Amino acid sequence: MQELPGIVITGASGRMGQMLIKTVSDSDKVRLVGAVEREGHDWVGRDVGEAMGGAALGVTVTDQPLEAFAKAQAVIDFTAPAATIAFAKLAAQARAVHVIGTTGMTDQDIAQLEPCGRHAVIVRAGNMSLGVNLLTKLTQQVAAALDEDFDIEIIEAHHRHKVDAPSGTALMLGEAAAEGRGVDLKDVTDSGRDGITGARKRGDIGFTAIRGGDIIGEHDVMFACDGEQIILRHKATDRSLFAKGALKAAIWGQGQKPGEYDMFDVLGL
Ligand SMILES: NC(=O)C1=CN([C@@H]2O[C@H](COP(=O)(O)OP(=O)(O)OC[C@H]3O[C@@H](n4cnc5c(N)ncnc54)[C@H](OP(=O)(O)O)[C@@H]3O)[C@@H](O)[C@H]2O)C=CC1
Ligand SMILES: O=C(O)C1=N[C@H](C(=O)O)C[C@H](O)C1
């Protein structure tokens, strides 16, 4: 009988790291084979289940990612841009599927993934949920159907710990809206309004970020014209939906050709 794909989780102690450890260890389609934390982290050397305050899972947290990746078929990585770039090189070396949920990556960061994608499968998305990926497709369609009489505004809300803005999801939605309109998002982005900003420029795509409490992730795409507004909305109420999407991507990636993919590929959207 063939062994189930082995999965390593990076950033194991993080909000998403812990959710991923739980989702992977509860699954009957994959095996948890590794948990990575940075050097000096107090979880290193401990059983990851016990470090999370539960039963032992038989996996010791390590600060040696390459050793862990070499034993795995996939790495699920929701950490920080610098860590993700380093992990991408190691996952490519180990020929493991690299599922990247990390947001806040610059164009230069993303360019560094390209050589890694020549050796291994990378699946990267600012949001791994089915709902948001569907919303992204709908955003593109609505933007394509409406003209610039409709101002597009993207409003996102997240918990107080989030470090990047606009969120990865907001940027995905903005890219989709720009694509629907046939423009480059970089030419029409309007974010961080403050002070005497001047009137809104026709055709711009605006971004607003709210940060507070324990909000998991909420995104509105508003199309506003004189006399009416259309609002497309997604609300995440449980982080497990991101973890389930990431797990689906890790399984989907097995047997795919090396390259860079996204959740549209995984979900067939
Ligand atoms: N695509 C999607 O569907 C989703 C994406 N995200 C994204 O995932 C990322 C993580 O979010 P969240 O879990 O809330 O953040 P947390 O801050 O809770 O977790 C991040 C984890 O990564 C670890 N980490 C950071 N740098 C390194 C490193 N160099 N080596 C090893 N570990 C490292 C942190 O360790 P330490 O504490 O020591 O710094 C921490 O354990 C964010 O970019 C977020 O936007 C979140 C949800 C869904
Ligand atoms: O940091 C988070 O929490 C989230 N980040 C992702 C993003 O930047 O869009 C996805 C989700 O909204 C939660």
CATH value at residue 173: 3.30.360.10
For residue 223, being part of any structural domain is answered with: yes
For residue 89, being part of any structural domain is answered with: yes
Return the half-sphere exposure (C-beta side, CA atoms, 13 A cut-off) of residue 95. Answer: 4
User: Residue 206's pLDDT is what?
Assistant: 98
Which residues are part of the catalytic machinery? 158, 162
Question: What's the token pair of residue 168?
Answer: 């990865």
User: Residue 242's pLDDT is what?
Assistant: 98
Give yes or no: residues 226 and 257 share one domain: no
CA of 103, nearest ligand number: 1
For residue 243, being part of any structural domain is answered with: yes
For residue 27, being part of any structural domain is answered with: yes
Give yes or no: residues 144 and 48 share one domain: no
CA-to-CA distance for 269 and 253, rounded, in angstroms?
Answer: 16
DSSP 189: E
User: Which residues line the pocket of ligand 1, CB cutoff 6 A?
Assistant: 10-11, 13-17, 37-38, 41, 78-80, 83, 101-104, 125-128, 168, 242
Q: How many degrees, rounded to 5, is the angle at CA 90 between CA 84 and CA 92? A: 100
| Residue 226 lies in domain | 130-236
Give yes or no: residues 169 and 211 share one domain: yes
Type of residue numbered 250: A
Q: How far apart are the first and last CA of the chain?
A: 32
Which residue has 């998305």 as its token pair? 125
DSSP 86-133: HHHHHHHHHT-EEEE------HHHHHTTTTGGGTSEEEE-S---HHHH
> Quick one: which of 66, 21, 76 has its CA closest to 47?
21
For residue 1, being part of any structural domain is answered with: no
Give yes or no: residues 136 and 100 share one domain: no
Give yes or no: residues 258 and 151 share one domain: no
Mean local confidence (pLDDT), 137-157: 98
CATH of the domain at 29: 3.40.50.720
* pLDDT tens by residue, 24-37: 999 999 999 999 99
Where does 27-101 have alpha helices with state H?
A: 48-51, 65-70, 81-94
Mean local confidence (pLDDT), 89-104: 98
Give yes or no: residues 137 and 151 share one domain: yes
> Quick one: which of 14, 236, 8 has its CA closest to 131?
236
> Quick one: which of 268, 264, 254, 266 has its CA closest to 97?
254
Of the listed ranges 1-5, 127-131, 225-229, 260-264, the least confidently predicted one is: 1-5
User: Residue 1's pLDDT is what?
Assistant: 67
211 contact partners, CB below 8 Å, separation of at least 6: 157, 158, 159, 160, 162, 165
User: Residue 2's pLDDT is what?
Assistant: 77
Number of domains within the chain:
2
Mean local confidence (pLDDT), 227-252: 98
Q: Is residue 183's pLDDT more than 70?
A: yes
Q: Is residue 84's pLDDT more than 70?
A: yes
Q: Is residue 95's pLDDT more than 80?
A: yes
Give yes or no: residues 138 and 188 share one domain: yes
Could you tell me the distance, in angstroms and rounded to a whole number, from the CA of residue 43 to the centre of ligand 1? Answer: 15
Q: Is residue 93's pLDDT more than 70?
A: yes
Give yes or no: residues 148 and 187 share one domain: yes
Give yes or no: residues 223 and 135 share one domain: yes
Give yes or no: residues 111 and 243 share one domain: yes
* pLDDT tens by residue, 112-139: 999 999 999 999 999 999 999 999 999 9
CA of 99, nearest ligand number: 1
CA-to-CA distance for 209 and 217, rounded, in angstroms?
Answer: 11
Give yes or no: residues 189 and 254 share one domain: no
For residue 176, being part of any structural domain is answered with: yes
Strands 74-77, 121-124: pairing is unpaired
Q: Which helix (H) or strand (E) holds 25?
A: helix 15-26
**So what's the ipTM on this one?**
0.98
CA-to-CA distance for 76 and 9, rounded, in angstroms?
Answer: 5
User: Residue 54's pLDDT is what?
Assistant: 98
Give yes or no: residues 120 and 245 share one domain: yes
For residue 88, being part of any structural domain is answered with: yes
Give the pLDDT band (50/70/90) at residue 157.
very high
Mean local confidence (pLDDT), 167-193: 97
Could you tell me the distance, in angstroms and rounded to a whole number, from the CA of residue 227 to the centre of ligand 2? Answer: 32
Backbone phi, psi, residue 128, to 5°: -95, 5
Strand runs labelled E in the chain: 6-10, 31-36, 61-62, 74-77, 97-100, 121-124, 151-158, 189-191, 205-211, 217-225, 228-236, 259-261
14 annotated as ligand-binding: yes
pTM of the predicted model as reported, rounded to 2 decimal places: 0.97
Q: Is residue 243's pLDDT more than 80?
A: yes
